[in-house]
Structure 1
Amino acid sequence: MIMKAEKHKILIIEDDKILTDLLKDSVFKADEFEFTVIHSFNEAVARAGEIKSAPGLFDLIVLDLKLPGGSGLDILKDLRSHGCEIPVIILSSKNAENDRISGLELGADDYLCKPFSLKELYIRVKKIIERHGRAHAKPAPEQKHSFNGLSVDIALREVYVKDKRVNLTPNEFDILKFLIENKNAVITREMLISCIWGGIFIAGGTIDSYVSRLRNKISPCGDFIETVHGIGYKFKAV
């Protein structure tokens, strides 16, 4: 008997019903995905409460920013502040760089501006789910790292600065993890994009913004992340 592959569970938070129907028919096909659609901010708040209690409800969230009754950014902020690491892709008509960076800094895994290519969205969804699965796979032998008051538990995806836990977004943690695993080596932006985002185009300024926020969060323990101008970054470990 041939076993069917487990379907990925997708939550779509989008007020445009024509778009959600298009996503269901063209991107989130029934043979690959199970999807739940909600159209308002209040519905999203209620569902976020369920997700915080049971993070395994969904494999990925597609989130519109402009919802009837509130902003999708508030939903994202609430989930991330409670340690929820479900991947989130923002869909938005706001295409200014500041808007994109704000969404990514709050913890979105990706940000697509409307109008967008349905094929591109599909590829990004698949890549992010695959990356998230690898990040939560069975841990490798060396899982705990300590550097002058900075403690990183790879298996639990927890970071402590002078014994106080700090909240990192999923992308911030993955960047820190990759830098630590390649400590004292120069890591290019292209390497980060390839290993963390699966080669999907990410603007260099977005990477720099992630690293800047990460650097600030761990700065009480020292200046570990060195910028190698014109190339990328290095995690300095003595």
Structure 2
Amino acid sequence: MKFTIAILFTLATLAAAAPPFDPAGVKNVGNGNGGQFIGGQCLSDADCGSGCCANPTGICSGPGAQFQAGKTGCGFGGGAAPAAPAPDNAAAPAPAAPAAAGTNAAGGPPFDPAGVPNVGNGQGKQFIGGQCLSNADCASACCAGPSGICSGPGAQLQAGKTGCGFTSGAAPAAPAPDNAAAPAPPFDPAGVPNVGNGQGKQFIGGQCLSAADCASGCCPGPSGICSGIGAQTQAGKTGCGFISKRMVSKRGVIAELF
């Protein structure tokens, strides 16, 4: 009995001696994304940008300071701690169908609402924490199940995620802009004077009717947009060599070629 009391007293003393948590880090607790800064609360090493969640209280620490200020070393929680509770403004767990961006994903962490413009366009611009419909949406190339959230490959099985490779079968791709064929990127409107004249003056991102329009010498399909050679198959483009059925005369008249 005395031994048990002594152990409890020792643990309480260590916890009291450890530094307080920085309240600004609440949003980074328990999501396993490595976004927690030193001084913020953590449930495992995976929460911390430093990779060190120090005992006895669970506070992110620099590895060189893991035994300072009452801390007793990295490894708090053993990597098996549950995800942090959802914030008050998070929606209830979503059904099996893909949740709307910004809501709390079923079985995984909540989506970052700032990522809404990057959902479903396949351009690889979605950041970690944003909703995705496939790996092609994510800059990390990892769209993790069960809900579709961009993740670092090393964190794809943390915080309720079930691994990269999520593919939505319900939500459509983002609508194509009015002046470009889906799913290619939109044309830069500043390039209108360079379309179809074959003078090689069109810059990357401007519309082209053939490779002769582009300064880069590359007019990729499916829509005809000047591209760098190395990017000819990115963002929905299908490679150099696009030739439009439209022909622009010197008078600016557009005719159809058959």
The reply to whether TM is greater than 0.5 is: no
- Given the two structures, how large is their TM-score scaled by the length of structure 2? 0.24
More strand by percentage: 1
